Structure 1
Amino acid sequence: MKRADYYNIEPELVSYLINQETLIKQKVEASFGLTIWELVKLRASQLNQCAYCLSMHSKQALEYGESINRIIALSAWQDAPLYNDKERAALALCEKLTLSQSIDDGFYQTLSALFDQPSLVTLTVAINAINSWNRIVKMFKPTVEFNER
């Protein structure tokens, strides 16, 4: 079944999400970097089982210099020795927010030790944004393309 072409049906609404991505990217580049951003987008997309976003963000992560091994190991990041403390904290936050789990004071303190307040706000908004995109894409199911490099 062909679903609604959300991009062309409501371009004004979708443009707000695209503009948000542009602003998030600027803030991310100035704070914690594109690699963490792409890891978070991939992890949220794994949790949300969003094939379209997994395809898109795997390609984007590779373009930003991410390694194939780190992308492959992402679903088991807790056990893989490939991620630093800051990445691990970002991935843990991503999982908690994506799965609607509470953020206790101890975990917030851990995050605050690794990210300054503006970066923590940026990270939280970035996680919210990818979850929003995942839900839109899961609703309207655009064509997924997995192309080999």
Structure 2
Amino acid sequence: MTTTEHPTVSAPEQRISLPDLAPEFYRAMAGLERASRKGVDPVLAELVKVHASMLNGCAFCIDMHSTDAVKNGEQHHRLLSLPAWRETSWFTAKERAALALTESITLLTQGHVPDAVYDEAAARFEQTELAQLITLIVTINAWNRIGVTSRLSPAVKEG
């Protein structure tokens, strides 16, 4: 096997289909998703979604949102560096504040949302924009929990 070949491993089988078995809830989540994106820069929204999804280990959401980020003009090297965003100069102060807030909300049991993290986000975002950012983070965390629990698997890509 060469260094570019990877063995084919089948993904775990999906456990449950919430759209089929809880359609009213699923429609409500879709509505929540639409509402949470309003007023948030699409590139920033996808960075936040990819970062939260990486923290939560949701392969389905990482795949979906990294694809959407690239379609919105995001650069691959920034997406790949999200786990080490503090170690790069590739993110703006506003993006850094959003990524820190994403970590604090996503990893809530590891120190809650420290005042310093919240205050930095509040300094970088207008109040309405900050409120929308919080709803976006909360929503992607809900989607991640659905994806991981039900074992949603990303689509296989050719090429």
Structure exhibiting the larger radius of gyration computed from Cα positions: 2
Cα-Cα RMSD: 1.6
The number of residues matched between the two structures is 145
Q: CA deviation at 1:75?
A: 1.0
Q: CA deviation at 1:108?
A: 2.6
Q: Work out whether residues 59 and 153 of structure 2, in 8 Å CA contact, stay in contact via their aligned partners in 1.
A: no
Higher helix share: 1
Instruction: Provide the residue aligned with 2:28 in structure 1.
Output: 16
Cα 1:43–1:148 change in 2 (3 A) is farther
Query: What is the alpha-carbon distance in structure 2 between the residues aligned to residue 85 and residue 78 of structure 1?
Result: 11
Q: From 97, 113, 128, give the equivalent of 1:103.
A: 113
Per-residue Cα deviation, 1:94-118 (whole angstroms, up to 9, x for no partner): 0011000323333332222101111
Structure 2 alignment gaps of length 5 or more: 1-12
Q: From 63, 69, 75, give the equivalent of 1:67.
A: 75
Cα 1:7–1:83 change in 2 (3 A) is same
Q: CA deviation at 1:43?
A: 0.6
Query: What is the alpha-carbon distance in structure 2 between the residues aligned to residue 148 and residue 61 of structure 1?
Result: 19
Q: How high is the TM-score relative to the length of structure 1?
A: 0.90
Query: What is the alpha-carbon distance in structure 1 between the residues aligned to residue 115 and residue 19 of structure 2?
Result: 39
Structure 1 alignment gaps of length 5 or more: none
Q: CA deviation at 1:21?
A: 1.2
Q: How does 1:1-149 map to 2 (within 5 A)?
A: 1-28=13-40, 33-100=41-108, 101-147=111-157
Three-state SS of the structure 1 residue aligned to 2:39 is helix
Query: What is the alpha-carbon distance in structure 2 between the residues aligned to residue 12 and residue 145 of structure 1?
Result: 25
Query: What is the alpha-carbon distance in structure 2 between the residues aligned to residue 73 and residue 104 of structure 1?
Result: 24
